[in-house]
C-alpha cells in the first residue's frame, strides 16, 4: 500500500506512476514531499519510509519565480517532486530511469511542443536534462525522431484523414500480446459475419467522409493479424475499399501480416491487387526456442520464406518487428535476431521493448536488474547497427511497465517512413477507425475527441447498429469543431 503526503505542491498522478516502478501494491510505503519555490530556487525534500528503513533526498533546481509559461511551471513542479522521490527510492532499489521522470507516451512530441512554443533546441535540452533528468542519449534520440516526424507532419494536406481498419483475429494469442485480438480457434466462426458487417461500416465511413469533405491520405489495415482472414475475405475488403475511396491519391497503403504462418501467395496477391504497397512481417525474434516459449506457431525459416514471398509479390516497403527482452533471451540472442533480419534487408525495422504486464514481482529481483542492463545493450546495439545500415529513427513511443523503462522505436531507410505511424503518435491529423477495436481521433488544433469501436468480434457483430451511430458521432464532432 502506497501512502502519499505532499506539502507545497501536489501531483499525485505523477508520483503514483513512478511509485509503481519501485514498489508493488502489497508493500507498505509512505512517501512524503515538501516543496518550496523561493528566491528563484525550487527545493523538494523527499522521504520514502518502508518496513525496512527510511530513505531521503534533498533536491534543488534553479528556476525563476517569475517564469511566465504556466504550463512549463506546472510541468517543472511535477517533475521536481517526482525526481526527488525517485532519487530517494533509487537508494533502496537501483531502478533504471534513462528517460528520467518523463512519463508521457511520446517523448518526441514533448520536443516538438516546446519548439512550437518558441524554445530553442538548447533550452529544450536543458529542460529535458535538468528538469526531467533524462539521459543525453535519450535526449539525442528524442530530437532525432522529432526532426524526422516534423518532415512528415509538414506534408499533411488540409481536408485529409488517415483510415484504420482493425481485424481482431489471430491464429493464437502470444503470451506478451496487449493488442486487440482473439484466438481464431475460438472466434473463427464469427469471421464471415464480421467481414460482412465491416463492408457496411466501410460504406458508412465513405458517406460521412463525403459530408466532412475529406479524402483519405493513407490506409492502415491492422489488428490482430489481418492475414488470418482468407484470401477471399481479404479480396472482399480490398474491393470495397477500392470501390468507396480514391486509392490512387494515397501516400501509403499498409497491411499487417504480423504472423509469418498466415502469409500465403494467395493472401499477398489479394493485398497487392487491392492496392496495398506496404506490409509488416513480424518475426519478434529469430530464435526458434524463444518463438515456442512465447506461443508463436512459426519458425525463423518461415519468416524468411514469408519475407521472400512478399518481396516477390511486389511489396517494395516491408517492415519487420523485433522485441527486445523476450523471456529467456540475452543481448546476444537479440543481436542475433537483428543481424538475421538485417540480412533480409527490409526497408523498416521496429524495435519494441518488452512490456511486462505484471511487472512488480519481476522487477524487484536480481534478474530484473540484470535485465535492465541487458535491455540497454540490446537497444544500443540496435541504434548502432541501424545507423550503419542507413536506417534512421523516425517514430517512437513508450508504455507502462516497459522492460528497462525504455522505448519502442521505428527505424526506416530514407523514403520509407510510415505516415500513419507518425500520425498516430503525434495526433495532428484525424484518424477514422473501422473494424474491431478501432479508435477514431477527431483532431481540431490541439483538441482531440476519441470515438471507440467495440473490441470483441462478438460485441462488434451484436451491437453493429451502435457502430454505425459512432460514425455519425464522428461527423457531428467534426462539424462542431470546425464551426469554431
pLDDT of residue 90: 95
Asked if pLDDT for residue 173 goes beyond 50, the answer is yes
- The CA angle 460-165-264, to the nearest 5 degrees, is 105
Strand, coil or helix: 193: helix
Q: In the 8-state DSSP scheme, what is residue 131?
A: I
Percent of the chain exceeding pLDDT 90 equals 77
Please state the domain extents for the chain: 1-95, 98-146, 155-474
Residues 6+ apart with CB under 8 A from 19: 2, 4, 29, 31, 85, 89
Mean pLDDT within 174-184 = 56
| Cβ pair 332, 326 in contact under 8 A | no
Q: What does each C-alpha distance from 411 to 15, 105, 141, 164 come to in angstroms?
A: 32, 18, 12, 21
| Cβ pair 260, 296 in contact under 8 A | no
Task: Tell me which of 161-170, 172-181, 275-284, 345-354 is least confident.
Answer: 172-181
Asked if pLDDT for residue 183 goes beyond 70, the answer is no
| Cβ pair 278, 254 in contact under 8 A | yes
pLDDT of residue 141: 96
pLDDT of residue 186: 65
DSSP per-residue codes, 257-315? ---GGG--HHHHHHHHHHT--EEE---B-S-HHHHHHHT----HHHHHHHHHHHHHHT-
Mean pLDDT within 455-465 = 93
pLDDT digits 0-9 by tens, 78-120: 999 999 999 999 999 888 899 999 987 889 999 998 998 999 9
Q: Would you place residue 360 in the very low, low, confident or very high pLDDT band (cuts 50, 70, 90)?
A: very low
Asked if pLDDT for residue 48 goes beyond 80, the answer is yes
Question: What b/e sequence results for 69-94 when a residue is b if at least 16 CB atoms lie within 10 Å of its CB, and e otherwise?
Answer: eeebbebbbbbbbbbbbbbbbbebee
pLDDT of residue 204: 98
Mean pLDDT within 42-63 = 95
Place of cell 496477391: 269
Task: Tell me which of 4-8, 87-91, 168-172 is least confident.
Answer: 168-172
| Beta-sheet pairing, 408-412 with 392-397 | antiparallel
pLDDT digits 0-9 by tens, 388-440: 999 999 999 998 777 778 899 999 999 999 999 999 888 999 999 999 988 99
CA 28 to chain CA centroid, Å, is: 32
CA atoms within 13 A on the CB side of 463: 15
Axis crossing angle, helix 107-116 with helix 136-153, rounded to the nearest 10: 70
| Beta-sheet pairing, 160-167 with 392-397 | unpaired
pLDDT of residue 403: 74
The mean of the pLDDT values for the chain is 91
| Cβ pair 208, 475 in contact under 8 A | yes
Question: What b/e sequence results for 269-306 when a residue is b if at least 16 CB atoms lie within 10 Å of its CB, and e otherwise?
Answer: bbbbebbbbbbbbbbbbbbeebbeebebebbbebbbeb
Measured between alpha carbons, how far is 427 from 448 in angstroms, rounded to an integer? 8
- Report the largest interatomic distance among the alpha carbons of the chain, rounded to a whole angstrom: 71
The domain defined by 1-95 carries CATH number 3.30.160.100: yes
- Retrieve residue 81's grid coordinates: 517532486
Percent of the chain exceeding pLDDT 70 equals 93
Q: Return the CATH number of 155-474, one of 3.20.20.70, 3.30.750.200, 3.40.50.2300, 3.40.50.10420.
A: 3.30.750.200
Run of H or E residues at 367: helix 366-388
pLDDT digits 0-9 by tens, 190-248: 899 999 999 999 999 999 999 999 999 999 999 889 999 999 999 999 999 999 999 99
Asked if pLDDT for residue 460 goes beyond 90, the answer is yes
Axis crossing angle, helix 107-116 with helix 419-426, rounded to the nearest 10: 70
pTM: 0.90
pLDDT digits 0-9 by tens, 112-167: 989 989 999 999 999 999 999 999 999 999 999 999 999 999 999 999 999 999 99
Asked if pLDDT for residue 358 goes beyond 50, the answer is no
As to burial, measured by CB atoms within 10 angstroms (0-12 exposed, 13-18 middle, 19+ buried), residue 411 is buried
Strand, coil or helix: 379: helix
Asked if pLDDT for residue 361 goes beyond 50, the answer is no
For 314-358, where are the alpha helices, taking DSSP H only?
331-344
- The β-bridge partners of 317 are 278
Amino acid at each position: 500500500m502506497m501512502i502519499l503526503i505532499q506539502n507545497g505542491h501536489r501531483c499525485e498522478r505523477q508520483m503514483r506512476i513512478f511509485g509503481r516502478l519501485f514498489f508493488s501494491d502489497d508493500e507498505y510505503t509512505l512517501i512524503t514531499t515538501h516543496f518550496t519555490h523561493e528566491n528563484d530556487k525550487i527545493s523538494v525534500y523527499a522521504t520514502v519510509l518502508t518496513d525496512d528503513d527510511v530513505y531521503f533526498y534533498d533536491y534543488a533546481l534553479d528556476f525563476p519565480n517569475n517564469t511566465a509559461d504556466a504550463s512549463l511551471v506546472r510541468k517543472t513542479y511535477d517533475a521536481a517532486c517526482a525526481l526527488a522521490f525517485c532519487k530517494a527510492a533509487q537508494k533502496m532499489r537501483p531502478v533504471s530511469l534513462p528517460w528520467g521522470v518523463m512519463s508521457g507516451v511520446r517523448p518526441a512530441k514533448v520536443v516538438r511542443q516546446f519548439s512550437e512554443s518558441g524554445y530553442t533546441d538548447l533550452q529544450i535540452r536543458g529542460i529535458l536534462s535538468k528538469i526531467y533528468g533524462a539521459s543525453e542519449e535519450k535526449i539525442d534520440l528524442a530530437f532525432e525522431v522529432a526532426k524526422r516526424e516534423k518532415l512528415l507532419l509538414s506534408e499533411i494536406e488540409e481536408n485529409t484523414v488517415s483510415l484504420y481498419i482493425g481485424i481482431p483475429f489471430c491464429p493464437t494469442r502470444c503470451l506478451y500480446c496487449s493488442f486487440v485480438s482473439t484466438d481464431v480457434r475460438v472466434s473463427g466462426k464469427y469471421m464471415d459475419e464480421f467481414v460482412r458487417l465491416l463492408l457496411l461500416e466501410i460504406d458508412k465511413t465513405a458517406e460521412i467522409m463525403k459530408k466532412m469533405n475529406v479524402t483519405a491520405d493513407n490506409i492502415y489495415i491492422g489488428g490482430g493479424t489481418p492475414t488470418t482472414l482468407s484470401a477471399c475475405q481479404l479480396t472482399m475488403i480490398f474491393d470495397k475499399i477500392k470501390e468507396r475511396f480514391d486509392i490512387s491519391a494515397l501516400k501509403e497503403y499498409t497491411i499487417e501480416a504480423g504472423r509469418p504462418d498466415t502469409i500465403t501467395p494467395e493472401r499477398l496477391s489479394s493485398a497487392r491487387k487491392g492496392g496495398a504497397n506496404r506490409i509488416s512481417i513480424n518475426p519478434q525474434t529469430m530464435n526458434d526456442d524463444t518463438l515456442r516459449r512465447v506461443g508463436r506457431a512459426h519458425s525463423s525459416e518461415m519468416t524468411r520464406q514469408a519475407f521472400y514471398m512478399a518481396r516477390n509479390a511486389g511489396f517494395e516497403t516491408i517492415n519487420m518487428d523485433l522485441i527486445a527482452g523476450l523471456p529467456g533471451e540475452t543481448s546476444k540472442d537479440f543481436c542475433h535476431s537483428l543481424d538475421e533480419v538485417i540480412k533480409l534487408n527490409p526497408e523498416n525495422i521496429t524495435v519494441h521493448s518488452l512490456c511486462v504486464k505484471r511487472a512488480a514481482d519481476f522487477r524487484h529481483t536480481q534478474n530484473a536488474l540484470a535485465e535492465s542492463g541487458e535491455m540497454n545493450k540490446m537497444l544500443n546495439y540496435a541504434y548502432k547497427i541501424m545507423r550503419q545500415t542507413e536506417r534512421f529513427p523516425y517514430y517512437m513511443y513508450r508504455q507502462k511497465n516497459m522492460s528497462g523503462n525504455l522505448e519502442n522505436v521505428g527505424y526506416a531507410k530514407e523514403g520509407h517512413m510510415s505516415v500513419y505511424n507518425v500520425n498516430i503518435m503525434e495526433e495532428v491529423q484525424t484518424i477514422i477507425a473501422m473494424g474491431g477495436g478501432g479508435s477514431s481521433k477527431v483532431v481540431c488544433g490541439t483538441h482531440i475527441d476519441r470515438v471507440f469501436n467495440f473490441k470483441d468480434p462478438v460485441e462488434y457483430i451484436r451491437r453493429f447498429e451502435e457502430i454505425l451511430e459512432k460514425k455519425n458521432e464522428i461527423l457531428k464532432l467534426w462539424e462542431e469543431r470546425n464551426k469554431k
